[in-house]
């Protein structure tokens, strides 16, 4: 598929001049599962395998790599052809989410019924700052022209996984997919994101069993409710040596004033 780069001009001091630079790439991937076209995933064009695996995992269609009979992605035609052992529901009703470019899910976001994420040991504030700093460094390294969201998963020893995408929701799918592909259990880990935490992202975090979800910016009220129900400590505005806790403050080791 041909990807024509736009010519960039900068307006400054009353005139337009040519400028060297890159734009963020956007790629539409048609997802076919068991012969059915179920969705078009709009994402960044790299590592599409992890995106597809994570999307299907968090939709509840697969639970392990053994559930896949076929996973073939054609970059040239923008098609992912997947066969899974289980059957898809007879009717799939897509729900448009608040993700960048409008994400898609087949269930309304909510905490999985009866699920309380493993609490584990409370998290030191220093760990949250350290992991967010590591994520920021990776973002600065790979996102030289803006327009990219990032996410990472880790623990007290450091980051385990990192990904980037044009969509906030896609980054969580990518983390879920890469974890499944590499056999990494995210239960009890920390999940960090650069963007706003919305309800669908909180619900996905609950499915992964993380104990803490943190962002450089804000969560929504529904995200806070889902995290409270799921036993996840929700942290926002991690910057400048401070943060805000929106659910389960007992998950942070620090005096509460």
Active site residues: 100
Question: Which residue pairs from 215-221 have beta carbons closer than 8 angstroms and sit at least 24 positions apart in sequence?
Answer: 216/132, 216/136, 219/246, 220/98, 220/196
Look-up of token digits 């976001």: 109
User: Structure tokens of 224?
Assistant: 């806070």
Indicate the pairing of strand 36-43 with strand 149-155. unpaired
- Alpha carbon distance 68, 54 (integer Å): 12
Cα dihedral across residues 137, 232, 101, 28: positive or negative: positive
Q: How far is CA 130 from the centre of its chain?
A: 20
Using the CB atoms, write b or e for 106-130: b if 16+ within 10 Å.
beebbbeeeeebeeeeebebebbbe
Q: What kind and span of H or E run contains 229?
A: helix 221-230
How many angstroms separate the CA atoms of 65 and 53, rounded?
Answer: 8
């Amino acid at each position: 598929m041909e990807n024509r780069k736009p010519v960039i001009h900068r307006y400054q001091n009353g005139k337009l001049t040519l400028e060297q630079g890159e734009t963020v790439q956007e790629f539409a991937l048609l997802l076919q599962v068991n012969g059915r076209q179920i969705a078009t995933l709009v994402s960044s064009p790299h590592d599409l395998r992890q995106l597809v695996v994570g999307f299907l995992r968090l939709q509840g269609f697969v639970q392990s790599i053994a559930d896949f009979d076929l996973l073939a992605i054609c970059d040239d035609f923008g098609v992912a052809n997947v066969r899974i052992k289980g059957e898809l529901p007879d009717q799939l009703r897509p729900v448009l989410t608040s993700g960048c470019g409008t994400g898609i899910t087949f269930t309304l976001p909510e905490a999985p019924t009866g699920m309380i994420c493993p609490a584990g040991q409370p998290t030191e504030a220093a760990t949250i700052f350290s992991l967010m700093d590591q994520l920021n460094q990776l973002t600065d390294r790979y996102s030289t022209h803006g327009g990219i969201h990032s996410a990472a998963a880790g623990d007290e020893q450091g980051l385990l996984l990192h990904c980037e995408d044009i969509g906030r929701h896609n980054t969580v799918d990518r983390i879920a997919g890469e974890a499944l592909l590499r056999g990494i259990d995210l239960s009890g880990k920390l999940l960090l994101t650069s963007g706003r935490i919305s309800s669908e992202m909180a619900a996905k975090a609950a499915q992964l069993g993380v104990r803490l979800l943190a962002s450089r910016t804000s969560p929504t009220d529904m995200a806070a409710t889902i995290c409270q129900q799921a036993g996840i400590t929700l942290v926002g505005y991690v910057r400048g040596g401070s943060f805000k806790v929106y659910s389960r403050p007992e998950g942070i080791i620090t005096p509460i004033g």
